[in-house]
Amino acid sequence: MSKPDSPNASQCTPSPTDDPLTLHEFEQAAKARLPAHIYEFYASGSDQQNALARNEAAFNRLCIRPRVLIDVSEVDTSTTLFGWKAALPIGIAPSAMQRLAGGEGELDVATAAASMGLNLTLSSQSTTSLEDVAEARNRIKTGDIPPPPFWMQIYLYEDVQKSINLIRRAEAAGYQALILTVDTPVLGNRLAERRTAVTLPAGMTLPNLDPPAPNNPGANPDAPPQPSINRQLMNARTAHSARALRTAAGSQMHSSSLTWHTTIPFLRRTTSMKLILKGIMTPEDARLAIQHGIDGIIVSNHGGRQLDATCSTLEALPDIVNAVAGAIPVILDGGVRSGADVFKALAVGADFVLVGRPVLWGLAVGGKEGVRGVMDVLERELSRTMALAGVREVGEIGRERVGVLRREGFGRLFVCLGYDSGVENLDGE
């Protein structure tokens, strides 16, 4: 029996309705509010969800090495990316169909991002038009400071010509970079979606798909909602049914035939926006990106939703950073759940990080104010971590600031976490 003055469980464990203080608490609050299949749609990975788990667990293999007797009365969390001074080295990753999470979906996220001066990447599968999202950004006035850059994510169709209109719409609306997702020749085996298909309710469409893809509710308002053709392909049980679906869909499928020598020149001919590749996981592809004139890369395994047997993004990062050698910005997403995680990613060599799921949890909890709350948590945690580590500005966060845990103990210094570097990696081998 507990002592009379001992706190009980309800006092120690915050309920999902309490004001969230961490990203984990935001997720628990969102889970309590969202329909189960919508929460699983956002939260789940592919197959056994190993890559999803590795993304978060990898950060726990690193420990920060704090320095002391340093004046940290003023901590500067700003950084510069593509000539733009960002208040935080953190942007918002693209996530599809945000109105399913709650509030005004992408409009709430855009309003929160613009009001905080944060970079946002809009999914081409958003439930709000790219023009309306850009307008939401432009309505936010922050004195003489220009609005933050918004980027546009895209999947190319098998017939790449069908993507031209969307690319030109994005450029005309003021998006400053095109983010080509390169890790989805087919969708990963997302079991939660296969068990309970996610479809858009009546009145909700995917307005950036132009022309609307087959089975998109926006194509025929009287037709019953269906999963997209790409998700139907994911659900195919035999090679025969997969071929039949591909044949029926034709040019409306996500392309599985993109190449360095055809795709990149096509995009350069189509747009003057910066080109950033999302889904780079090896130094070989990072070098090819530089050779083909790409402006930046995002180290990403699609939040663990594609190849389940891959490593975490943090594990992939060091070799990629070494290969790039500062030639282009290296951005990381996947598994970032605290300001300390941001610090560790920067220490390993990322120039910038993106967060995806936590933003959706904030949206589900409180609309645009919930999104602001999530980003405020990250800002406070990063600022506090920097001060406690003896770091005054982002540029001081180098590899000497972290150590790697080993089976034999703590690695005082670490040079590289890569697999072929000849030194200790995140598995301690």
Cβ partners under 8 Å of residue 267, min gap 6: 167, 178, 180, 275
Instruction: Output the CA–CA distances (angstroms, integers) from residue 133 to 74, 166, 276, 369, in the order listed.
Output: 34, 14, 20, 17
409 CB burial (10 A radius; 0-12, 13-18, 19+): exposed
State both tokens at 1: 């029996």
Q: Do 188 and 47 contact (CB within 8 A), yes or no?
A: yes
What is the Cα Rg of the chain in Å? 22
Query: Given 3-state DSSP classes, what are the helix, strand and coil percentages for the chain, each rounded to the nearest 5?
Result: 40, 15, 45
Binding residues for FMN: 94-96, 123, 153, 181, 278, 300, 333-337, 356-357
Q: Which of 24, 37, 240, 302 is catalytic?
A: 302
Distance between CA atoms of residues 302 and 42, nearest Å: 12
Q: Do 41 and 98 contact (CB within 8 A), yes or no?
A: no
Distance between CA atoms of residues 319 and 311, nearest Å: 13
Task: Assign residue 386 a region (left: φ > 0; alpha: ψ between -120 and 50; beta: otherwise).
Answer: alpha
Residue in 129, 103, 97 with CA at minimum distance from that of residue 198: 97
Residue in 416, 417, 415 with CA at minimum distance from that of residue 427: 417
Binding residues for glyoxylate: 155, 190, 302, 305
Whether the ω angle into residue 211 lies within 30 degrees of 0, i.e. cis, is yes
Q: Do 136 and 114 contact (CB within 8 A), yes or no?
A: yes
3-state secondary structure of 226: coil
State both tokens at 320: 């990629």
Residue 302 is among the residues annotated as catalytic for this protein? yes
Which amino acid, 232? Q
User: Distance between terminal CA atoms of the chain?
Assistant: 46
Task: Assign residue 362 a region (left: φ > 0; alpha: ψ between -120 and 50; beta: otherwise).
Answer: alpha
Residue in 406, 183, 188 with CA at minimum distance from that of residue 298: 183
Catalytic machinery residues? 302
